[in-house]
Amino acid sequence: EDKVVQSPLSLVVHEGDTVTLNCSYEVTNFRSLLWYKQEKKAPTFLFMLTSSGIEKKSGRLSSILDKKELSSILNITATQTGDSAIYLCAAYMNRDDKIIFGKGTRLHILP
């Protein structure tokens, strides 16, 4: 059965801290690993990772994929209260273009 597992499920830190969110996957026909941020509405796209070991960065966020370990991490440095959200990891599959989501990590940044 295809699955995506995220940890931790929830995290509370203080503003300015650095956080690392974890994602592991077991899927057939893996194409790429996706990270999304979800606040009140639909998820917004953060990163798509297809190649192992290549870090992608966007401001204070960065992510990397390890295809050998079937995992990915999302780092957020110098966190701000606006980073409070649910971060979703998903495996994008070649078969039928499907995406399987993990349960998400609920991140709360304290001022």
Partner 1 sequence: GAVVSQHPSWVICKSGTSVKIECRSLDFQATTMFWYRQFPKQSLMLMATSNEGSKATYEQGVEKDKFLINHASLTLSTLTVTSAHPEDSSFYICSASWYNEQFFGPGTRLTVL
Q: Output the smallest distance, CB 42 to partner 1, in A.
A: 4
Binding piece for partner 1, criterion CB under 8 A, among 21-29, 41-49, 57-65, 75-83:
41-49
**Judged by CB, which is closer to partner 1: 60, or 103?**
103
How many residues bind to partner 1 according to rule CB under 8 A?
A: 20
Contact between 102 and partner 1 by CB under 8 A: the answer reads: yes
How far is the CA of 15 from the CAs of 44, 45, 80, in angstroms? 22, 23, 5
Going by C-alpha positions, the residue among 6, 15, 12, 11 that lies closest to residue 34 is 6
Q: The tokens of 18 are what?
A: 């650095």
